Structure 1
Amino acid sequence: MSEINQDRYRLLVKICQLYYEEDLNQLDIAKRLGISRPHVSRMLTAAKNEGIVNISINNPFSTEQELEKLFIKTFSIQDALIVDSSETDPIKLHAQLGRTSAALIESVLRDGDIVGIMAGRTIASAAEKLDYFEREGLQFVPLVGGWGSEGTSWHANSNALAFANKLKSKCWILHAPAVVASEETGALLRREPAIDQVLQLAQQSRVAVISIGEVSEQATMVRSGNFSLSDIAAVEERGAVASLCASFLDSSGREIEVPEKNRFIGLTASELRVIPKVIGIAGGSQKVEAITAALRGKWMDILVTDAATARAILDFHRSNEAK
């Protein structure tokens, strides 16, 4: 090694020691050595390229993160958070997804945000697991009405209130059911000034936190008593495989027009599309087809799910072409 190269090597090592071992920032190193900060940055990059510095990350989440990368590539979404879970108990799974979602939501929210909140047990769990963090001027607003008298602790209104209480923020309430008996009643309620005001505000959300519903006899809308077995059979016959807010999706993720849609009080999928950041939280084998449809339609920017569901979604997507 020539003397010039040896001196350069010595300087690279010195800069690396100051930066990585003594925790000096690039500006401090530049002042100490009498060189420019950009030159320090270039020297640090050169040190990595020449093998002086080898960075090793102790990553216990590598398997899930490989799945996340595959999801982002496969479905062209902004991000995915996939948790490794052996839980088959739905309550424990909801809690785990809720914890992961709570950390994500904290990183996403900004001062002054309007946040649209959907119904769902995982969303209720996210609100429960959330720790207080300071943001100014947050407003939480439900995206749909209530699902009857059962399970009120995870209705959209309850979830919005839970988030607002945790973050000491303002909450709006949508005084309407999610599904009504007739299209005429739906049209009348949507024209009510108090209901229209909340729905208009929901459309102005910068962030939406949503769940994805399956279309089956076990779906929440059926078990709540608001949607009959004949209703669900009718939308299934028209190709619906998922429900998203006040809309239904086919296997390709397209929003489909069904008369039953007019009985819903809430934002439609098309209105949801306008919201800049949509976070979907869903897991479980019964939701695989529904989540796949929502991903194919690009209805969300970020998905939070568990590894077992993620693998099942990828398998289903590969082996079942959209109709």
Structure 2
Amino acid sequence: MLSWEERRLMVKVAKLYYFEGWTQAQIAEKNNVSRPVISKLLNNAKKEGLVEIYIKDETVHTVDLEQKLEKMYELDGVMVVSTAGYEPVMAKRQLGKTAAAYVSKNIQDVSNLGISWGTTLLSLIEEYPYERRDNIHIVPIVGGMGTKDVHLHSNQLAFHLAQKMNTSCSYLYAPAMVETDDLKERLVNSKDISHVLEKGRNVDIALVSVGNPYKSSTMEKIGYLQESDLTSLSKAGAVGDISSRFFDAAGEEIDHPLNNQVIGLNLEEIKNIPQVVGIVEGSYKLDSIEAALRGGYLDVLIIDDQTAQALVQEY
């Protein structure tokens, strides 16, 4: 049981330290004691419940989610973006800003950067600052030709990111998906395409997103997936895709004709890239994101807070 004098001294020291902004050395000098004595008094004040420390900021919630997700899925890093009160378009833009800032800060030692395709990666590039990164070469890791929604295709994204970085990029002159295995074989074995695919396998970092083939699917929107495809994917157990490669709930790449017709890196090749940054948003993608994390395809996760919260609760 603390005496009145001990409690009084603790409160006095805590008030000077937490409210008046004094250093421990200044308080020690004022009270003619050593600095370790003040440090011990402050610790004891917390233990006795005389001092309770709260971090009053909305980012406490997101930092907590980040730490939980890092541990749950053994990730190198997680950034949770607060999107409360934002319309969907602005939420995606906020995610793009955060992802752009992360990439800009973490590519000092990068020589080759791979990029997939889709609306989330488009947001990143739209928010990316103009800077000089002429030591980096951008490589599309999946085909990207067509006439519909061209701005979302990997070649276009690679070109625009290269413009923002004032650097060079490769082009994968092939669609993401072709109609027959024979056509795919001929294309991937052609000199130009095989050269770019090999570059893609050897990038230092890759930017990808995760898709849900059944809800708000960009692949369906731009005509890569038909109703019959969705039915057969569902029967095969597909829950999501990365770079147009479909995987099941366990995160395993499924055995399906559509996976065989993709011109781009397969999931094992993506997993072998030293750092894969996944930029994802939307709780409708929850099962897809969870499976991608289970499969170990992502090293860094940049995600909105609502979906992050749902992931933590599902685990």
Instruction: Pick the TM interval, shorter chain.
Output: 0.7 to 0.9
**Paired AA for residue 74 in structure 2:** S
Q: What does residue range 23-102 of structure 1 map to in structure 2 within 5 Å?
A: 50=40, 60-87=58-85, 89-102=87-100
The CA deviation string for residues 116-138 of structure 1, in whole angstroms up to 9 with x for no partner, is: 00101121111111113443410
Q: Does 1:13 align with 2:25?
A: yes
Distance change (3 Å), C-alpha of 1:47 and 1:267: farther
1:147 and 1:224 in contact (8 A); partners too:
no
Q: 1:272 aligns with which of 270, 273, 289?
A: 270
Q: Is the 8 A contact 2:134 2:165 kept in 1?
A: no
Q: How many Å separate the matches in 2 of 1:153 and 1:249?
A: 25
TM-score by length of 2: 0.81
Distance 1:269 1:168 in 2: 30
One-letter identity of the residue aligned with 2:252: R
Retained in 1: the 8 A contact 2:139–2:158? yes
**Alignment match, 1:132:** 130
Per the alignment, residue 161 of structure 2 pairs with 163
Q: Secondary structure at the match of 1:255?
A: coil
1:176 matched residue in structure 2: 174
Secondary structure, aligned partner of 2:223: coil
Find the counterpart in structure 2 of residue 33 from structure 1: none
Paired residue for 2:227?
229
Instruction: Report 1:114-133 matches (<5 A).
Output: 114-133=112-131
Say which SS state the counterpart of residue 287 (structure 1) adopts.
Answer: helix
State the number of aligned residues: 281
Instruction: Give the 3-state SS of the residue equivalent to 1:275 in structure 2.
Output: coil
1:146-157 matches, within 5 Å, as 146=144, 148-157=146-155
- Match for residue 239 of structure 1? 237
* Identical positions, percent: 30
Cα-to-partner distance string for 1:86-109 (whole Å, 9 max, x where unaligned):
256432222111000011001110
Aligned equivalents of 2:189, 2:38: Cα separation in 1: 63
Q: Secondary structure of 1:214's match? A: coil
How many angstroms does 1:161 deviate by? 1.2
Residues 101 and 126 of structure 1 are in contact (CA less than 8 Å); yes or no, is this contact kept in structure 2?
yes
- Structure 1 length normalisation: TM-score? 0.79
Cα separation, 1, equivalents of 2:270 and 2:291: 15
For the 8 Å contact 2:201–2:265, the answer to whether it is kept is yes
In the aligned structure 2, how far is the partner of 1:306 from the partner of 1:226?
27
The corresponding residue for 2:7 is none
Tell me the residue number matched to 1:255.
253
Q: Is the 8 A contact 1:247 1:268 kept in 2?
A: yes
The equivalent of 1:283 in structure 2 is 281
* Higher alpha-carbon deviation: 97-106 or 46-55: 46-55
Structure 2 stretches lacking a partner, 5+ long: 1-23, 47-52
* Unmatched 5+ stretches in structure 1: 1-11, 18-42, 319-323
